[in-house]
Structure formats: structure tokens, C-alpha cells
Amino acid sequence: MPELVYAVVTEAPIHINELSTLVSNPHSGAVVTFCGDVRNHDGGKEVASLFYEIHPSAPEQIKVITQSVIGHYEIERVAVAHRYGDIAIGETAFAVAVSAAHRQAAFDACSAIVNAVKEKLPIWKHQKFTDGTDEWVNCA
């Protein structure tokens, strides 16, 4: 049975190496990671700043969402983190690390976790553009 070793919604910076270390173990021949970093453009506009706002249930929901996915894969351990608040361009906003005996299971599970969290986590992105406009994106 896969083990969810870490699942947080946090204001603190996310470091993918730390998540990778959390999932590493002697049973796993593969560790697959995903980093969703804040980019400087979206929809043809230059992004000046980004802010994520969370619903109060988000810290518990990230665990529930991830648990609902991982049982379908032959994997060992999972760590997932999503930031909220102001996040600078280039910093990690969302990260996932998955370990498994074999790479394909780790790749498949990592992709499924990313998709589920992006679809279901109650979190909203507010982007401000360099042209003075802004946009709220409902990520849940």
C-alpha cells in the first residue's frame, strides 16, 4: 500500500530535493518529481506577480485528494506540496515526488496526482500583468 509521507499547503518555499528525499527508500528504483514553477508569462501577457488564495479546507483536502489517487498505482511513497500567498516568478508553487520499484508506475502516479490536485484543490490564482490588468484563475 502506498504511503503518503508528506502533504501540505504552505506559505513556505517548496524545495523539490526535500520532497525527493522524503520518498526515497531501498525498495524503490525510481523517484519521479514534478515542479510547477511560477512563469513570467500567461496567455500572451507578461506576469508581474502571482498570489494564491486557499479555502480553509485546502490543507486537509490535499491529503484526501492525493490519497484518492495513490491506491491505484504500484508505488512506494508520495510527497506533495502546494504554496499559497505571494510567490515570486521562478519559485515553485506546486511539487510532487513519487517513489516506486519501477519508473513507469512512478511517472503515471505522479501525473495523476498533479492532475487531481490541480482539478480539485480549492485554491485560486490571482495574476497581475505588467500591462496593469489582472486575472483570477479558479484552479479548483
Residue 138 included in any domain: no
The reported pLDDT for the residue numbered 46 is 97
How are the residues of the chain apportioned to helix, strand and coil, as percentages rounded to the nearest 5?
30, 40, 30
For the stretch 24-80, pLDDT in tens is 999 999 999 999 999 999 999 999 999 999 999 999 999 999 999 999 999 999 999
Which pLDDT band, with edges at 50, 70 and 90, does 9 fall under? Answer: very high
What are the residues whose beta carbons fall under 8 Å from the beta carbon of 78, sequence distance 6 or more? 2, 3, 4, 5, 6, 7, 23, 66, 70, 96, 97, 98, 99, 109, 113
Radius of gyration of the chain (CA): 15
Buried b (16+ CB within 10 A) or exposed e, 17-55: eebbebbeeeebebbbbbebebeeeeeeeebeebebebe
| Percent of the chain surpassing pLDDT 90 | 96
In a domain, 41, yes or no: yes
What whole-number percentage of the chain has pLDDT above 70? 98
On whether residue 137 sits in a domain, the answer given is no
- What CATH number did the domain enclosing 14 receive? 3.90.1170.40
In this prediction the pTM is 0.95
The answer to whether position 47 is within a domain reads yes
Q: What's the chain's length in residues? A: 140
Q: Residue 96: pLDDT above 50?
A: yes
Q: What is the pLDDT of residue 140?
A: 42
Q: Which domain holds residue 29?
A: 3-131
Number of domains into which the chain is organized: 1
